[in-house]
Amino acid sequence: MLVYGLPADVTDEYIQIVESTAIQYMQHFCRAIVEVFAEQYLRSPTANDVARLLYIGKQRGFPGMLGSLDCMHWRWKNCLTAWAGQYAGRNGSPTIILEATADYDLWI
């Protein structure tokens, strides 16, 4: 469901479980990811993190840089019709932009 952006009722034919069970396991999986990775990776940087990243950027010749910004345009296949114009991308279909900043050791 996460990889292909499919709704739960589509996956029931492929994995042979009902929609409610697929949703339940997706929620369980997401909670586990947050529980395992929240403290280290799913948080805002602390003052020490920012100072460390600015120091490393300066040493590498990029003063004031925290990390590299990358953007991805994902086609939003299941966008609501009412929102389609608001999220229209360059090719006319609805897209969502994922923006991520990563430092030198890929801490996002």
Question: So what's the pLDDT on residue 12?
Answer: 73
94 in helix, strand or coil?
strand
Query: For 34, how many CA atoms within 13 A lie in the half-sphere containing its CB?
Result: 6
Question: So what's the pLDDT on residue 73?
Answer: 84
Contact 55, 47 (CB under 8 A): no
Per-residue pLDDT of the chain (108 residues; tens, 9 = 90+): 777 777 888 777 777 888 888 889 999 999 999 999 888 777 888 899 889 888 988 998 888 887 777 888 888 888 888 888 888 877 788 988 888 777 777 676
Question: So what's the pLDDT on residue 108?
Answer: 66
Question: So what's the pLDDT on residue 27?
Answer: 93
